[in-house]
């Protein structure tokens, strides 16, 4: 199973041009991926820098036939009223709504794209404790149970808060709690209530991959907390460092975009795996060549 994790910043390259099709071409160059975990996919946010398309989730589905596109919206906001100015100049109501002029909410979140069979999809709202000192938005984690070669695995894609450390730590704690919840479901599954209703069997795999932009530097407090032991569950491991023992991972953000990342490059994107998957981790590499985003993609091969 080939998996790519990438914050694509709505298809915006390091030079500021938005071209989601080019982003996907770069992903295909890296691997014949079975799973693509993306952060910063938008709908109705055409006023953002570079002017992304009106519905990037639909764009992904059009550009990737044969793949299922799963979405999880974090920020879900009204359309910008007529006359309100944004970072890219005045935005009219029709700009936010599309050519039809119909109202279009502004939605910002994650996507999980896969050609593997999808057994279950769960949308998790992450904690958002008040922090008046920092701008922030609602964050989410999208979980899909995939029928992967070698056995079912839960894949989660997320994007943690950038400005607020208290919020980031609360979100890491929630990701760890969700792992314990899945283990409890695995140990104590409930049977389905009939074959056609929503009360399906509750069993879930223990094995998990948690992918995303954690906005947490390598070896930072939030990073270290993610790796702490989990009582009754396999702990999380960093897939890259597991396969490159003793090495420091290369930067995953700010390599080419020095305007947004004025303080220099940062390693903040990770693919964490439950340690029971360590024997199935075959390769994990961070591509340092592509300029298709302000972040660099991580390519994982799972045996």
Nearest CA among 70, 61, 50, 64 for reference residue 10: 50
- The answer to whether 175 and 141 are in contact (CB under 8 A) is yes
What pLDDT digit, counting tens, does each position of 29-43 carry? 999 999 999 999 999
Task: State pTM to two decimals.
Answer: 0.93
Which is more confidently placed, 94 or 294?
Answer: 294
DSSP the chain: -EEEEEE-GGGB-TTS-B-HHHHHHHHHHH---SEEEEEEEEES-TTSTT---SBHHHHHHHHSTTSEEEEEEEEEEPPPPTTEEETTEEE-HHHHH-TT-----EEEEEEEEESS-EEEEEEEEPP----TTS-----EEEEEEE--TTS-EEEEEEE--SS-HHHHHHHHHHHHHHHHHHHHHHHSPPPPSSSSSS-------S-EEEEEE----TTSHHHHHHTS-BTTBPPEEEHHHHHSTTPPPPP-BSSS-TTT-TT--B--EEEEEEGGGGGGEEEEEE--S--SSSB--EEEEE-
* Third-level CATH fold of 2-190+203-302: Deoxyribonuclease I; Chain A (3.60.10)
What are the pLDDT digits (tens) for 95-149?
Answer: 444 444 445 899 999 999 999 999 999 999 999 999 999 999 999 999 999 999 8
Interval 148-182: pLDDT, tens: 988 999 999 999 999 999 999 999 999 999 999 99
Task: Return the domain boundaries, the chain.
Answer: 2-190+203-302
């Amino acid at each position: 199973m080939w998996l790519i994790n990438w914050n694509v910043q709505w298809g915006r390259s390091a030079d500021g041009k938005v071209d989601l099709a080019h982003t996907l071409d770069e992903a295909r160059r890296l691997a014949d991926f079975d799973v693509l975990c993306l952060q910063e996919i938008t709908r109705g946010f055409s006023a953002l820098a570079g002017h992304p398309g009106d519905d990037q989730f639909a764009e992904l589905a059009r550009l990737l036939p044969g793949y299922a596109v799963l979405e999880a919206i974090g920020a879900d906001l009204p359309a910008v009223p007529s006359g309100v100015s944004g970072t890219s100049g005045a935005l009219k109501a029709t700009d936010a709504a599309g050519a039809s002029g119909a109202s279009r909410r502004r939605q910002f979140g994650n996507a999980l794209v896969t050609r593997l069979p999808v057994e279950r999809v769960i949308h998790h709202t992450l904690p958002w404790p008040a922090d008046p000192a920092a701008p922030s938005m609602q964050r989410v984690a999208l979980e899909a149970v995939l029928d992967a070669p070698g056995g079912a695995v839960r894949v989660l894609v997320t994007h943690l808060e950038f400005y607020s450390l208290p919020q980031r730590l609360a979100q890491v704690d929630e990701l760890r709690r969700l792992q314990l919840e899945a283990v409890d479901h695995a140990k104590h599954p409930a049977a389905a209530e009939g074959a056609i209703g929503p009360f399906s069997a509750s069993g879930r795999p223990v094995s998990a991959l948690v992918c995303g932009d954690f906005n947490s530097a390598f070896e930072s407090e939030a990073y270290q907390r993610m790796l702490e032991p989990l009582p009754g569950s396999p702990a999380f491991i960093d897939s890259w460092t597991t396969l490159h023992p003793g090495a420091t991972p290369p930067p995953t953000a700010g390599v080419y975009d020095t305007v947004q990342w004025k303080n220099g490059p940062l390693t903040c994107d990770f693919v964490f795996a439950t340690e029971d998957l360590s024997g199935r981790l075959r390769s994990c590499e961070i591509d340092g060549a592509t300029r298709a985003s302000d972040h660099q993609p991580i390519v994982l091969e799972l045996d």
